[in-house]
Structure 1
Amino acid sequence: PLSETTYYTMLGLAGEPMHGYALMQKVSETSQGTVSLGAGTLYTIFSTLEKENLIEMVSEADRRKTYALTPKGKQVLLLQIRRLEIMTQNGQNAANLLEI
């Protein structure tokens, strides 16, 4: 399973390659403000994801590094999305049993 911050980082890269600052804004927007990434946290995530071959740097201009999901990264993200869908469905089923 991916951590929440890693999940939103990868989710932010699902549509198009992005540089760090744009991705921090995208994560905040996508998570409706529930996840806020600082630069240090984001670049630690980038480093880890690069080592695991889940993202790659696709360009570097004016000190801005742009990252994209690799094919392996896309596969891992899809598996996580499916996992979360199952968890959500199980939670909804349990919530229905708890209603008074």
Structure 2
Amino acid sequence: MRMLLTIRIPHEPFNAFVRDGTIGSVMAKILEAVKPEAAWFTEQSGGRGAILVINLDDPSQIPAFSEPWFLTFNADCEFRVVMGAEDLQKAGLEAIGSKWK
């Protein structure tokens, strides 16, 4: 199942990794472990953030995706189910709409 993983990263300990020059290797290690379909890094509520597209086959995989962020950065993670255009086309909205007129 395709999921959108939104991550809010507090300033510390992220700043410490930036200052000691290890942030690149730390981020590469996490991204290699979670292997997102796509990853973007952005501002969130005035702080650092990331948005990843991941594929979750089973709910038991949630810790594998979230714990690297929790344990490394004390980050907050939110998971949302998302659909691509093809998924929406297969959703059967016409039949659902007819049923609930």
TM-score, normalization by structure 2: 0.29
Larger radius of gyration: 2
Higher relative contact order (CA 8 A, sep 6+): 2
TM-score, normalization by structure 1: 0.29
